[in-house]
Amino acid sequence: MIFEPFKPFLAAGFQVKFATERWEQAAAASLRRKVFCGEQQIFTDDDRDAIDDVAIPLVAVSLLGVAADDVVGTVRIHPDETDAETWWGSRLAVEKSYRRLGAVGAGLIRLAVCSAHARGCRRFLANVQSQNALLFQHMHWRSLGEFDWFGRPHHHMEADLDHYPPFVTPEIGFLSLPKMVA
């Protein structure tokens, strides 16, 4: 008998919501550090900045059955400091083993734009690492130009709000499921 190496279990569903619980906020901060400081080495010890003082953190929580298990994705949103109708998304981070599923990153992007839209957003922007620009384009975003930021190529991108209806219960969020591939 031949045994296959252990493959980690990936949750079948995710609750995508505002990070309303302390454990969710702490896990989101930890995931950001893991991705932006550890993996990508963009920052040394911590990626927090002044935006975190005003931003709303969002999380994707893996679900085992109906119980919340762990934060496997996060992003933050906030209104522009000079224009309350313009909102920004930043620091999108997804746990490495969940990046290929699509449900995590796409669910966070959808909640980010839809919840901002419900709060008066008329323009939603993000500076997206070039490696992720195609995902955003598939989700009805357009590139406004390319530039280097933190030593990495980025796209300045804008969401097409016609594809993101206002979502008024982001504290509860919604269930995001991976697409099944035949």
For residue 1, pLDDT over 60 is answered with no
Amino acid at 49: D
For residue 164, pLDDT over 70 is answered with yes
Share of the chain above pLDDT 70, in %: 89
Q: Distance between CA atoms of 142 and 140, rounded to whole angstroms?
A: 7
**Residue 45 in domain:** yes
**Residue 1 in domain:** no
Mean pLDDT over 14-40 rounds to 96
3 state DSSP class of 51: helix
As beta bridge partners, residue 139 has none
**Residue 115 in domain:** yes
For residue 82, pLDDT over 90 is answered with yes
Q: Distance between CA atoms of 17 and 14, rounded to whole angstroms?
A: 9
**Residue 41 in domain:** yes
Q: Is the dihedral of CA 123, 36, 41, 178 positive or negative?
A: negative
pLDDT digits (tens, 9 = 90+) for 52-77: 999 999 999 988 755 557 999 999 99
**Residue 8 in domain:** no
Residue 3 burial (10 A CB sphere; 0-12, 13-18, 19+)? exposed
Mean pLDDT over 134-157 rounds to 96
Please choose, from the candidates 86, 43, 78, 85, the residue with its C-alpha nearest in 3D space to the C-alpha of residue 58: 78
Give me the CATH number covering residue 157.
3.40.630.30
Q: Are strands 86-94 and 123-129 parallel, antiparallel or unpaired?
A: parallel
Mean pLDDT over 37-42 rounds to 95
**Residue 5 in domain:** no
Q: Distance between CA atoms of 149 and 38, rounded to whole angstroms?
A: 18
Query: For residue 94, how far is the Cα from the chain centroid?
Result: 7
pLDDT digits (tens, 9 = 90+) for 93-138: 999 988 887 789 999 999 999 999 999 999 999 999 999 999 999 9
pTM for the model stands at 0.90
- Write out the H or E segment, with its range, that includes residue 135: helix 133-138
pLDDT at 4: 56
- Could you tell me the CA-to-CA distances from 59 to 27, 108, 142, 153, 175 in Å, in that order? 9, 7, 24, 25, 12
**Residue 20 in domain:** yes
Domain range for residue 109? Answer: 13-176
Q: Distance between CA atoms of 176 and 104, rounded to whole angstroms?
A: 7
Burial pattern 128-139, b for ≥16 Cβ within 10 A else e, equals beeebbebbeeb
**Residue 142 in domain:** yes
Report residue 2's pLDDT band, with 50, 70 and 90 as the boundaries.
low
**Number of structural domains, the chain?**
1
